[in-house]
Amino acid sequence: MPRLGRKSRNALIVIGLLAGAGGAAAVVAQGRAPAEDSGKTMTAGRPVMTVVVHFAPEQPDRTFMATIKPRVEADQGFRVSGKIAVRLVEAGRVVKAGEALARLDEADLKLQKEQAEAELSASRVVMEQTAADEKRGGDLHAKGWTARAVYDRQRSAAEEARGRNRRAQRAVELAANALDYATLRADADGVVTATLIEPGQVVAAGQPAIRVARKGEKEALVALPEAFVSRAREGVATLALWSDPQKSYRATLRELSPVADAATRTFAARFTLPDADERVALGMSATLTIAAPAAGKVARVPSAALFDQGAGPSLWTVSADGVTVLKPVTVLRYEGADALVASGVAEGERIVTLGVQKLSPGEKVRPISQLAF
């Protein structure tokens, strides 16, 4: 290794001294920085946890799923028994009052009518014969040629014949009605919502065959939890279709079941929709919103934010320049870890939520919204 001259060794010593001085300066600078930051922190004030006050209705609106139903929906059936010959409608068909929905096989009913008509003809002949006998017997009895008993028997026979004729007339009418009942007709304008029969099926009298929803006012069917039954009676309800959530319809409670469903523990409620238009179709899904009547607005704040020295609850607010101000407030009630404040603070004000016992009026603080670790 070559030996260094005196000038070279002196140069190296100078470089080393300069490097040492630079390191010391850096250490001094590093040691001075925390002190300067501390001075700035002290100037800004100590940090405090805060939240912004927001007022909302005391009882928020509640929403429930609803299904559009007709006001009146009835199962229609034949008034006579028989075999289904033809079904004339399908589900969704719009029908008019008196329109045929289905027909039975009319063969047996026609035979019954013919039999009733034949019995009527026979009873008419008997009635005419007995009436003639009664008249003739009356004339003979008046002349004294026949006994009173004979005339009474003739008169009784004539009266019985007239009764049988009237009964035969009613039988013909009943047979005609039965034949007419073989055609099931809609009793009102409406929409077919279900078909419960098929051609070839034998049905009994009164058995449900076609379900028809009458044309008219539509309703929303809702299952209400028991906690909201009273609100349904007193609140204001509106309805919005899932297919058109921007459109709102007025809803009015019409019927509320007095008994809860055994499985769901909910109460069936029906709300009428007087403003429903053609867009509100049967079976649609919708959202029913129930708002509390004349609900006041309150601010929900943590109970730990309240400060009370015997003069009532107060809240520490932080002004825009970071200065604390103590404001008395009115607490409506407490719910769990929160307090519902009715007045005393304004919407959008920032309040202190932790460490309120350590604050004093006019103190300079630095608001933070969450703790950082």
Kindly list the domain boundaries of the chain, sorted by start residue.
Answer: 47-58+296-368, 63-71+215-291, 110-166
Nearest to 359 by CA among 307, 301, 302: 307
How high is the pLDDT of residue 172? 95
Specify burial of residue 241 (Cβ count, 10 A radius: 0-12, 13-18, 19+): buried
How high is the pLDDT of residue 371? 57
Residues 207/77, Cβ–Cβ less than 8 Å? yes
Mean pLDDT of 81-103: 94
Distance from C-alpha of 37 to C-alpha of 252, rounded to nearest angstrom: 65
Confidence of residue 25 (pLDDT cuts 50, 70, 90): very low
The CA-atom distances, in angstroms, between 311 and each of 239, 314, 317, 333 are: 47, 9, 17, 17
Structure tokens that stand for 323 in this block: 């200065």
How high is the pLDDT of residue 80? 95
Percent of the chain with pLDDT over 90: 52
Mean pLDDT of 364-368: 88
Confidence of residue 14 (pLDDT cuts 50, 70, 90): very low
- Residue 22, pLDDT above cutoff 70: no
Mean pLDDT of 315-341: 89
Alpha helices in 143-284 (DSSP H): 148-181, 229-234
Mean pLDDT of 284-304: 85
Which of 173-177, 235-239, 368-372 is predicted most confidently? Answer: 173-177
Fold of 47-58+296-368: 2.40.420
Residues 325/314, Cβ–Cβ less than 8 Å? no
Q: In CATH, what is the architecture of 63-71+215-291?
A: Beta Barrel (2.40)
> What separation, in Å, do the N-terminal and C-terminal C-alpha atoms of the chain show?
57
- Find all residues with CB under 8 Å of 298, minimum gap 6, and list them: 55, 56, 57, 58, 332, 340, 341, 342
- Find all residues with CB under 8 Å of 137, minimum gap 6, and list them: 146, 150, 151, 154, 155
